[in-house]
A and B are shown apart, each in its own frame.
Chain A
């Protein structure tokens, strides 16, 4: 999967979870940029991402994700590793 594809899919997930079609993601987007992205929402995002991409994160990985770019990196490393 290409980085752009992951971004596209992730954008849909974010728009859906926050019920806001105007959300645009960049590498730097972090919880302070999106209203409502609190620890509660973080749980839902992770669960949805795991489900959509068919991946499973480790605790240290979830803890290390500081922005969307790092999220994408983790997803990519897992989806390519699977092949």
Chain B
């Protein structure tokens, strides 16, 4: 729904929330259901309402548990049968500077203030540790917004007695905890309240009247922010930008004006705006965000622009450049296809409203934000939360590189008439092993991101993955694949659940990055061998159809399984462990680890 995309009309959302919810629920989106516990230090009713809308918008259908007013500490620390039965997938702790137990007094010594600070940190750490232990799920915690008055004036920020200073130190303590706990995320209300305007955000009317820690009109901004963290945790971030060129990455029309006359660079104000925007876009590469160009231009002009001496973005920064006279939606679709990603995982950035319109209309689910004037592009894109960082894996660092390596493979493939010869020439090497701690983030990320080559589409949080890895009744495997062009990193994941002498494959997925490389064969060979080692007689595979995983409908059949049940398209497949014949021919697989000698 366009109305829930940034920049949105917060007042409209608040007064139309019932209608919005109805509309979102009536869409045929494939919602994933998630249980979210909201523990509040102030009123949360409206926050939960609006959070639900933004989550539905992201394809997540939430079920909520809401703590009683100001019972966040009790709910977390003491035994709580209701919350236990609820089994939260995510816990959001909505506290504010009104929940700080005590602030320093002017007469307090430095030591006394340190004690005060420690006590407050202890209180919160107890909450987080208790929750982590009991529920083993991601926790989202507000940091503290700055106080709405300053007793010491400007000195409130720098003096150890200042409330502002004290909150700053508490925030630093929260961040230190976040840095050492992978499943703990800060909701930065300190930033969003400043962004909204602290005076408005902290309007005391809403506290005294309704016990809201923030202006009710600001709730959509808070809820949107929380929804971005949640959708990111569940792997629903976008993956890249598709960028227009003329009047988007530089000022002017390069085909008419010539490369030397476009507005770009620090010499004059207009060019400076575009230069800063280019730097902003380029910085996304560090996050593994893919950059591509879709421009109505002659290709040579497009390249001339990107090779402009003041262009921060160079042709090499792009994983794909489409400069031609086709329609934008066609180019957009082609880019998604070439990168092997779903169109809706890419964000369309174009200054032209007509082009945004056609892309939105032709490609449902694709966002084409209303980016405003050139100097506002960064503001709008940045606040949209498309690429909210939660789990960050080593893979993210090198993603662009991997996509470029893929282009090299495509070229190589074109030179072969026999596909087997091509696979051989790739000199593929795989590492296939039980889950290891260094890869937990990436494995969890894959279970949430993979839609197409995914048999059960079961989603896992990192803590669930860690628990499966430790549990003796599971067989877990991850697969890494490298070849002469580079390392693809972890691309395949499976989990089998042992019951007696039958192993049920509850999760089997592969990244589309390595389609048609026979990696699934290498994985199955190892998986079957491990089942045999564990004394299994039978392996059962399950296929649950979704709108996106049609490509693996016959996967188990191709692996030599026999279909034994079909219930409305949900199929069950069986393989007798002893009848399996190894299938991998082209990949050299390593599976050394402590539990199994070299093979």
Point out residues on A near B: beta carbons under 8 Å.
Answer: 13, 16-19, 39-40, 43-44, 47-48, 51, 59, 62
Contact = CB atoms under 8 A, between A and B. Distances in A.
A51 B11 CA distance: 8
A44 B15 contact: yes
B46 A44 contact: yes
Contact of B11 (A39, A43, A48): A48
A20 B539 CA distance: 55
Contacts of A44: 14-15, 17, 46, 216
A43 B208 contact: no
B209 A62 contact: yes
B205 A48 contact: no
B217 interface: yes
Given A39-B210, A59-B205, A47 B14 contact: yes
B209 A18 contact: no
7 contacts: A16-B19, A40-B45, A43-B212, A44-B216, A47-B217, A48-B15, A59-B205
Chain B binding surface SS class = helix
Give chain B's interface residue range (CB within 8 Å of chain A): 10 to 19
A2 B11 CA distance: 25
A13 B216 contact: no
Given A39-B210, A44-B216, A51-B11, A17 B205 contact: no
Contact of A59 (B15, B49, B208): B208
Given A44-B216, A47-B216, A17 B15 contact: yes
A19 B23 CA distance: 12
B22 interface: yes
A62 B17 CA distance: 22
Contacts of B19: 16, 19
A40 B15 CA distance: 12
Most B C-beta atoms less than 10 A away, residue of A16, A44, A62: A44
B295 to A, nearest CB: 41
Given A44-B15, A48-B11, 12 more contacts: A13-B15, A18-B18, A40-B49, A43-B46, A43-B210, A44-B14, A44-B46, A44-B216, A47-B11, A47-B216, A51-B217, A59-B208
A19 B46 contact: no
Interface in B424-462: none
A11 to B, nearest CB: 14
A30 B216 CA distance: 22
Q: Which 3 A-B pairs have the closest CB atoms?
A: A19-B18, A48-B15, A40-B45
B595 interface: no
Nearest to A44: B14
Given A43-B46, A44-B46, A59-B209, A16 B15 contact: yes
A59 B19 CA distance: 29
Interface string B16-42: 111100100000000000000000000
A20 to B, nearest CB: 9
B283 to A, nearest CB: 37
Interface in B111-146: none
A62 B502 CA distance: 66
Interface string B207-220: 01110100011000
Contacts of A40: 45-46, 49
A16 B20 CA distance: 11
Contacts of B209: 59, 62
Nearest to B216: A47
